[in-house]
Amino acid sequence: MLERQSASQGAMRGDAAQVQRRLTTSERVRVLLVPWGFVALYAAIYVGLVLPRAASGHVLAVIVAAIIACVWLVFAVAAVTFSRDVLAGRWPA
């Protein structure tokens, strides 16, 4: 379904109107599976490969595991933010 929003509604810069397509429920689910699938795969690889090495107690392995965990946290926050935008209807814009 296409919806036309005027520039006065804050839909677009300038005087022109913007046509925005609404996502169906199945499309939203598919769009949300992409970032969450990546986060889940990243976590599985972390638990399977990195965490056992860090559990050995080697200092460098623990530091690398902590850095990789921080990167995973950034991906998870980005997935949450993206999911909120999709569910609120602010994507695609």
What are φ and ψ of residue 61, in 5° steps? -65, -40
Domain tally for the chain? 1
> Residues 33, 27: contact at Cβ < 8 Å?
no
Rg of the chain taking only CA atoms, in angstroms: 20
Single pTM value for the model: 0.72
Identify the H or E element spanning 18: strand 18-21
In a domain, 48, yes or no: yes
Q: For residue 31, what are the domain limits?
A: 25-93
In a domain, 79, yes or no: yes
| Structure-block tokens of residue 13 | 């810069």
In a domain, 18, yes or no: no
pLDDT in tens, the chain (93 residues): 555 555 555 555 555 566 677 888 899 999 999 999 999 999 999 999 999 999 999 999 999 999 999 999 999 999 999 999 999 988 776
The span from the CA of 54 to the CA of 48, in Å, is: 11
